[in-house]
Amino acid sequence: MAALYAPDATVTFSTPSGMTTVFHGRPAIRSFYRHLHQIVPGFHWAQDSTRLLSPTVVLSYEHPVTPGGQSAGQCSHLFVIRGGQIESLDWVVYHQAASH
């Protein structure tokens, strides 16, 4: 997955509780994804819709799905792409389902 990101990429992750965390560079982004998969093992993200806002900007809406097939919330991703790699990602969780 790291190859999808530019070496100096930035991921900004925001939650409904108002917490925002910024990860800069591939090592920090890899660490973020590792941690995410530890706290939500077996989850996958189902895409609801995607919009190409410009040749380099993509807006995507998804919902995480538990291993049991339950929807676990809603989120959006705003990608900026340069040279075929993700330069920045703003990931906003705007609804989080009750604890699983």
What letter does residue 69 receive in the DSSP assignment?
S
Amino acid 81 reads I
Separation between Cα atoms, residue 99 and residue 69, nearest integer Å: 14
Percent of the chain having pLDDT more than 70? Answer: 95
Domain boundaries, the chain: 2-96
Separation between Cα atoms, residue 31 and residue 36, nearest integer Å: 9
In 3D space, the residue among 73, 2, 28 whose CA is nearest the CA of residue 12 turns out to be 28
Q: pLDDT band at residue 99, thresholds of 50, 70 and 90? A: low
Specify the CATH architecture of the domain 2-96.
Roll (3.10)
In 3D space, the residue among 84, 24, 26, 27 whose CA is nearest the CA of residue 58 turns out to be 84
pTM (2 d.p.)? 0.87
Q: pLDDT band at residue 77, thresholds of 50, 70 and 90? A: very high
**For 8-43, how does the pLDDT look when each residue is reduced to its tens digit (9 = 90+)?**
999 999 999 999 999 999 999 999 999 988 988 888
